[in-house]
C-alpha cells in the first residue's frame, strides 16, 4: 500500500467519524441517533424523492450504474 493510499484512507476515516445522517420529525420529539448502512441509504432515498416532489421536478430515471455520485468503501477496523 502506498503512502498516498494510507493518506486517503486516513482522510476517509476522519470524514466517516463526523458524517452522520440523523432522522427527525418536525413538531415531535427528535431522534438524534445516527442512521447507518442500509437504513441510511433508504432514508436518503426517501428524502430525495420527497425533495424532487416538493420542487415539482421529475424523479431521475437513470440506471444505478449511471448515478452521478461516487461510493467510497470505508475500511474495516
Number of domains in the chain: 1
38 is in which domain, residue-wise? 21-56
The predicted structure's pLDDT at residue 28: 67
Does the predicted model carry a pTM greater than 0.75?
no
- Nearest by Cα to 35 from 49, 24, 26, 27: 24
Divide the 77 residues of the chain into consecutive groups of 10 and give the mean pLDDT of each group: 90 79 68 82 89 91 82 69
- Nearest by Cα to 69 from 48, 38, 39: 48
Amino acid at each position: 500500500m502506498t503512502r498516498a493510499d494510507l493518506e486517503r484512507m486516513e482522510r476517509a476515516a476522519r470524514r466517516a467519524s463526523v458524517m452522520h445522517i440523523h432522522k427527525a420529525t418536525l413538531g415531535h420529539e427528535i431522534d438524534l441517533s445516527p442512521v447507518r448502512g442500509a437504513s441510511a441509504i433508504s432514508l436518503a432515498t426517501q428524502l430525495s424523492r420527497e425533495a424532487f416532489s416538493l420542487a415539482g421536478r421529475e424523479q431521475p430515471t437513470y440506471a444505478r450504474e449511471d448515478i452521478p455520485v461516487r461510493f467510497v468503501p470505508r475500511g474495516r477496523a
